Structure 1
């Protein structure tokens, strides 16, 4: 059994807002000094889910391997190494040169081509969305292009005899669905926190292979026709206003404060 996991390198989502900047030309977030690049936390959960499935199949006739796929720059290897230290077996990095990653359809198309050029997976896992722009449609796009069953918002995933069972998050609870392999499943944050890599796994990850692909290495033309054009990406305008409230007594000041809050429709 082969499990492919799509992961994305992003700016640390815990970065203080003043350090978050956007390049208006490339329409992408800019890495400021001292800001780390990390794997999207939702994708970490997808890697953890894949590793748990792999471990559940150990010793069976259907032993699993986990392959990570990402589109990015050379420093994305650090994120892939983190995924390898979590228990994945190998990784594939597709160079982001000449690829318009602002279009989710293009991203999904390139991932599909990369996956098909490397393996024939039985299951593809993604995070529910990337933790930078929170679009959350790449996984669906991958499934649509492959014409595979798609199950979103998985709280848990198990595989038995070629059938995939998913406990799925709903607005008012959970339900359980089952589909045939191959399929695409996106992991919800209700899956839980991924386990921390051990020192042994971190050391082993240095010997695990990371293959590199360029756009010319990919077959097909799925990603050649963007379906959307991002006109602009900008940070919200920061407006800081301070109104001093004066009065002859605490009661008068409190009354004026309540009036101001009501006028602003905050209460």
Structure 2
């Protein structure tokens, strides 16, 4: 075996193709206007309340409600929604997602995307529609005594997905003044560098891995103090899994943790490490 080439693809949580949040002074309408919110002075807040009500209506349908009550381990559940609206205010289903609090299935509550009403899109200064994503976390209280699921306004869970987080964790060496999107990229680059520098690809030979593309799926969390914890790995050999965990453990304590609604939260990551084993 002459060499093993390492490819690292970083996918933090679930990435969506979406437009960045427009700058208000450059747009006639800087956020989508949900049905009933057209005259609101705070379109984003009105959207959050209205979409929360939309979700509450649908998840209180008997079959889904019963499954949520059955599967929930706490009296509160969280639903994450990342909805991409196109230039006409229509949902782009391929790039939108609503999680299912009763299941970890990939499809989530995808069928609800057909029920989301068309919104009035973001408008630039020339009245042209602009695509925009709306990313939110919604909390619900499971009122078993009344057999209903109640929306919790202003809810902040202990864990917030990377694509939803309001203020991304700050990796050491990343400029805090950068935008959230740029900070995500900076952090991705820093973690990628740690893996590239420390992962011992020659272990593939030691553990006699089959030729071809091999993958290790790694998950970990950044806690409320910015420390890496709960590292787990699933790969083609226990020894390779152990190596992935060792490498991720070298990520230093971050300068700042993630913040949601002004509170520090735990931010989970999912990282596939992909490498090629030659014949």
TM-score (norm 2): 0.22
